[in-house]
A = this chain, B = another copy of it.
């Protein structure tokens, strides 16, 4: 009897949820022309972080939009001492709610090179396509009021997916809730950053400055793409990141490769030998202790990874290579620290090639980190390895005396860095979010323990002692950071549903 009652209650609860989401969907279908019109206006405001005038226009536009849809206490968080892109903040407090969630997206975009965009396209003049440009999609006009936007259509423009889509999906989720007369189950806070693509240089300061306002039980970061299989995903962490630039020195002036070739030391060959000593033929980094600090995956993380569809063969086909660097699957590899060469340079090649022995050879090296790694310690391991290969390591150009004292010289330039961050897959709010997304989309989202890429999410933990999770909405083939950035409309509509579901059901 008690079981039957529980079943009925649960069904009723499920029915109510389903009913609410149906209303949300109806609303955003009815309002699609108005929503898209606003979205196009928003993309038309240039949003490179360094362009402070336009960045402020973006911020004002968002603040105004928030006020229009009924968000209280909208304000711009300005940095205390520097003129930097403001954070647009707002909140909706729900009487009786126990849980507060902060929704994060960023409104600034990567710098643009308009000349690289497809003929006729411009980063800040958004247009519609009837499919992916790469697969023969054609530009189309804005549909008349009677015609519906189709799911497979795409918006092309800077920020269409990264990350004005996040701002628009979050705000329209709330607008829909408000307009159809529903009430959120939680307190909502909105936090839209304006310099994420410029390195979030002032984020930590701003979090500190507005600490009191920014208390919450969870941050939801809406950024990045969904899984390559098109399944939605919740990402529980990011890899850390740091860089080293290695410069190996030869003679103090370029030498004729005939008159001095196979006598004068060749820094390009020395660099090749040094880099080669760092990785074996199976992609395993051979630097001593490189994997030592790695905290092993938990059982629940392993299980989550096992549930992620294998997209490796499809992706390899799309990217034009037949064998990955390591035997592991992509998703497994991303749970390990990495060492990658980002670039090489020594004298010239092709038309710039000359018959010389170069004076120096440079490699730019990227280290990604997982939980357990410390970015400075990881740099130290690489530097120690370079010394073990017989190099004198310095942090500046060698002096004449150093040149005559050491037969192999490597200048190491260390960049700053930050560590990985992870939120537990067991987090009780995260578990509710999984359900909320399933309710909205009809399919369980994937649980991805870590993103391969890096975001400074450790700063939320550090300043606010809270845990972020990432809920991306953009299609994976969105050309994020590059020319022809685009957003598939289905991903945008699904995003609105997902965020509305989260706002309505989390306890």
A284 to B266, CA, bound (A): 13
Min CB–CB distance A218 → chain B (angstroms): 24
Give the residue name and chain of the B residue nearest to A481 (CB): B256
Surface stretch bound by B, among A201-209, A270-278, A426-434: A270-278
Asked if B344 and A361 sit within 8 Å, CB to CB, the answer is: yes
A451 to B252, CA, bound (A): 22
Asked if A356 is at the interface of the complex by the 8 Å CB criterion, the answer is: yes
Asked if A262 and B336 sit within 8 Å, CB to CB, the answer is: yes
Interface residues of A in 38-68 (CB under 8 A from B): none
Give the residue name and chain of the B residue nearest to A333 (CB): B263
Min CB–CB distance A138 → chain B (angstroms): 22
**Which residue of B250, B317, B320, B338 is within 8 Å of A321 (Cβ)?**
B250
Asked if B452 and A259 sit within 8 Å, CB to CB, the answer is: yes
Give the residue name and chain of the B residue nearest to A328 (CB): B263
Surface stretch bound by B, among A153-161, A295-303, A401-409: A401-409
Q: State the copy count for this chain.
A: 2
Asked if A326 is at the interface of the complex by the 8 Å CB criterion, the answer is: yes
Surface stretch bound by B, among A27-35, A175-183, A362-370: A362-370
Asked if A241 is at the interface of the complex by the 8 Å CB criterion, the answer is: yes
Asked if B349 and A362 sit within 8 Å, CB to CB, the answer is: yes
Asked if B258 and A283 sit within 8 Å, CB to CB, the answer is: no
Asked if A343 is at the interface of the complex by the 8 Å CB criterion, the answer is: yes
Give the residue name and chain of the B residue nearest to A398 (CB): B320
Which of A271, A319, A340 has the most B CB atoms < 10 Å from its CB?
A340
Asked if A81 is at the interface of the complex by the 8 Å CB criterion, the answer is: no
Asked if A352 is at the interface of the complex by the 8 Å CB criterion, the answer is: yes
Interface residues of A in 388-408 (CB under 8 A from B): 400, 403-407
Asked if B347 and A346 sit within 8 Å, CB to CB, the answer is: no
Residues of B contacting A340 with CB < 8 Å? Answer: 257, 261-262, 266, 269, 357
Residues of B contacting A109 with CB < 8 Å? Answer: none
A-B contact pairs, 26 of them (CB 8 A): A241-B355, A243-B353, A245-B353, A257-B342, A258-B452, A261-B368, A262-B283, A263-B325, A263-B330, A264-B321, A264-B324, A272-B272, A272-B276, A272-B344, A273-B275, A273-B281, A321-B404, A321-B407, A342-B353, A343-B358, A344-B349, A344-B361, A347-B364, A349-B362, A349-B364, A353-B364
